[in-house]
Amino acid sequence: MTQYYGGPPPHPQPLSAPMAPRRKNWIGTTALVVAVGGLAICWSVLGGVLLGAVGIVMGLVGRGRVARAEADNRTVATSGIALGVLAVVVSLALIPAWVRFAREVEMPAYLDCAAKTSDQEGARRCMDDLQERIDELFGATTSPTPGSA
C-alpha cells in the first residue's frame, strides 16, 4: 500500500470535459421558417394552409422538446405556431376574394372555352378573352403577347 505524504491522494483527471447534451432547436426554428413561408404565399390559399399547418405541427413538436429539456427555443417554436395559425386563417379568409374574382372575370366561360378547343389558336383566343375581361375589370391594359393580334 502506498502512503501519500503532504495531503490526500491526487484525483485522476478526466481525459476530456463532459459534453453538454446537444440541443435539438432545429425543429422549432424550422417551424418558424415554414410558417413565415406560409404567410408569404397565403394568397395562393392552398400553399398558405399547407405550410401554415406544417408550421403549427412542427412548432408543437418543438415545444414538446422544450418541455423535455431537449431544446431551449420555446419562443421561436411558439412563434412558429402563432404564425402558422395566422397563415391558415389569412389563407382561408382569401377564399371569398378568389371566388368573387373568378365570378367577375367569368372564369367558367374561360374554362368552358378552353375545354371545347383542341388547337393552340383556340386556346390562345380563350386566354385573350379572359385577359380582356381582367383588363376591363381592373381598368388596366396589357401589352399583347407575341404572336397574338
What pLDDT, on a 0 to 100 scale, did the predictor assign at position 105?
Answer: 86
pTM summary value: 0.69
Q: What is the pLDDT along the chain (149 residues), one digit of tens a residue?
A: 556 566 666 666 666 666 666 778 999 999 999 999 999 999 999 999 999 999 999 999 999 999 999 999 999 999 999 999 999 999 999 999 999 988 988 888 888 888 888 888 888 998 999 898 888 888 876 566 565 55
State the Cα–Cα distance between residues 17 and 132, nearest whole angstrom.
Answer: 73
SS3 for 63-125 is HHHHHCCCCCCHHHHHHHHHHHHHHHHHHHHCHHHHHHHHHHCCHHHHHHHHHHCCCHHHHHH
Contact yes or no for 100/52 (Cβ under 8 A) = no
State the Cα–Cα distance between residues 36 and 147, nearest whole angstrom.
Answer: 40
Q: What is the dihedral of CA 42, 47, 52, 55, to 10 degrees?
A: -130
What pLDDT, on a 0 to 100 scale, did the predictor assign at position 5?
Answer: 62
